[in-house]
Amino acid sequence: MAALTRERILQTAVRLADRDGPDAVTLRKIAAELGVHVTSLYNHVPTREAVTDGIVELLLDEAKLPTGPVPWDEWVRRYVEGIGEIAATHPGAFHALGQRPVQGARAAASFEIALAAFAEAGFSAADGFAALKAASYLALMIGMERSMVARGQVLETQLDALPEESFPMVRSVAADVSDYEYVWSFGVETLVAGLRAQLGPK
């Protein structure tokens, strides 16, 4: 049997979440998947929160976010795209990103790059942090929708329940616009344009 390591435990947790959903990830179920007693996990992941932090760490590694100097707008685009890709690839485990703040140097590395990029562009420290948070909000919301698409669980408004005479715009737009990629891209470019406007004319 392979040695029990933190990495192996966390990879099992990711696999379990993707297969059975995020609620299935408990220390006991991870131990059962690995064929070990639950107490064997405690030296590596002592709590359920430690597992969640580790899942986030693994997913952010897989997202291949920028870890070297990049322009701030490139960081925003690559961050949202990277988070979206892991949401589509790991629709169950992805939900860990919304459960706890990012913990540890490994998971936070790209945020240091982002703040440096915003500062280099002329954002104040407060505005740079706010910009990072705005990108994170957008990435998580797009990621949530991408994870739903990946699971085939997209929730749509029941247009038949809305009277056409009272909701002509909703019915026409919802019927005509079904390109998720366009909507996601529009959101990213709108955020980039809005942040650029905060810098004012050069």
Where do the structural domains in the chain lie, given as residue ranges? 6-199
CB 82 within 8 A of CB 64: yes
87 Cβ neighbours under 8 A, 6+ residues apart:
94, 142, 143, 144, 146, 147, 150
Is residue 176 predicted with pLDDT exceeding 80?
no
The rounded distance, in Å, linking the Cα atoms of 197 and 73 is 12
b/e string for 142-171 if b means 16 or more Cβ within 10 A? bbbbbbeebeeeeeeeeeeeeeeeeeeeeb
Mean pLDDT, all residues of the chain = 90
The pLDDT score that the predictor gives to residue 1 is 60
HSE at residue 65, side-chain half, CA atoms within 13 A, is: 26
The pLDDT score that the predictor gives to residue 201 is 67
- Residue 176 CA to chain centroid, in angstroms? 28
pTM attached to this predicted model: 0.87
How many residues belong to the chain? 202
Dump pLDDT digits (tens) for 60-119: 999 989 989 999 999 999 999 999 999 999 999 999 998 888 888 888 899 999 999 999
Dump pLDDT digits (tens) for 109-140: 999 999 999 999 999 999 999 999 999 999 99
Dump pLDDT digits (tens) for 178-201: 678 888 999 999 999 999 999 876
Determine the CATH number of domain 6-199: 1.10.357.10
Tokens at 75, concatenated: 């960081």
Cα torsion through 166, 171, 174, 175, rounded to 10 = 180
| CA nearest to 97, candidates 132, 131, 144, 65 | 144
The pLDDT score that the predictor gives to residue 46 is 92
